[in-house]
């Protein structure tokens, strides 16, 4: 069943999150998976088990308590956000394997730009030389995921210094522009989507 890709542009976080919840609540076993490609205005989001003490400085940037996994992270202009509404049961893999496949998709797109990324089994996401370049957070409901990944492309990284990113004090963050030169969100998204499709299409035996 073919996945539908929707390019939503720059949209506010909270209504997008509510739309993901609604889509997941209303989907059936016959509903095609969807991938939403978005960019958000500045916002901090705090996961279900998130602790507000990881927000080190209160600014004009709003904080939204959301229902994904993980701690606090930042979304802002110049960051590529890809939301994955995927029927995990149909895919035939576990959530941990799904996370690994999403990470591999990001690692592959970084490699397209000559950048070497890697995952961390203890801290979901993708890293380059110890600095985090992509975050992952999912929620499972009725055997289907929502939320997804964020990849720092060409953005102001300053707001990350006002939090403990993903709950880790002193965790450095980086972005593709600083590692590979000028890049556009559109180009990175167009390169990332085929990698996602490839990794989400293979069977568990051939992954």
Distance CA 132, CA 154 (A): 14
Predicted TM-score (pTM) of this structure: 0.95
Q: How much is the pLDDT for 207?
A: 39
Is 71 annotated to bind a ligand? Reply is: yes
184 a known binding residue?
no
* pLDDT in single tens digits along all 207 residues of the chain: 789 999 999 999 999 999 999 999 999 999 999 999 999 999 999 999 889 899 999 999 999 999 998 889 999 999 999 999 999 999 989 889 999 999 999 999 999 999 999 998 888 899 999 999 999 999 999 899 999 999 999 999 999 999 999 888 889 999 999 999 999 999 999 999 999 999 998 554 443
- Residue 75 annotated as lining a ligand binding site: yes
166 is catalytic: yes
* Distance in angstroms between the alpha carbons of the first and the last residue of the chain: 19
Which residues are CB-neighbours of 17 under 8 A, at least 6 positions away?
Answer: 64, 66, 67, 147
Contacts of 122 (CB under 8 A, 6+ apart): none
Instruction: Establish whether 68 is an annotated binding residue.
Output: yes
Q: How much is the pLDDT for 49?
A: 85
78 is in an annotated binding site: no
Task: Go through the domains of the chain in sequence order and give each one's CATH number.
Answer: 4-202 (3.30.930.10)
Out of 84, 110, 166, 189, pick the active-site residue: 166
């Amino acid at each position: 069943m073919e996945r539908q890709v929707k390019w939503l542009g720059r949209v506010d976080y909270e209504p997008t999150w509510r739309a993901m919840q609604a889509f997941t609540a209303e989907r059936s076993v016959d509903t095609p998976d969807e991938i939403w490609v978005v960019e958000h205005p500045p916002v901090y989001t705090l996961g279900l088990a998130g602790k507000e003490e990881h927000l080190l400085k209160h600014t004009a940037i709003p904080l939204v308590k959301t229902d994904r996994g993980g701690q606090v992270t930042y979304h802002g202009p110049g960051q590529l956000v890809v939301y994955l509404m995927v029927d995990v049961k149909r895919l035939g893999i576990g959530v941990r394997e799904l996370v690994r496949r999403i990470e591999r998709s990001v690692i592959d797109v970084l490699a397209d730009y000559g950048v070497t990324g890697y995952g961390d089994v203890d801290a979901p996401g993708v890293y380059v030389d110890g600095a985090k370049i992509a975050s992952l957070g999912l929620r499972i409901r009725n055997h289907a995921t929502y939320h997804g990944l964020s990849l720092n492309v060409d953005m102001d990284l300053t707001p990350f210094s006002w939090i403990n990113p993903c709950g880790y004090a002193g965790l450095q963050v980086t972005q593709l522009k600083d590692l590979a030169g000028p890049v556009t969100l559109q180009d990175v998204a167009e390169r990332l989507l085929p990698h996602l499709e490839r990794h989400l299409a293979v069977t568990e035996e051939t992954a």
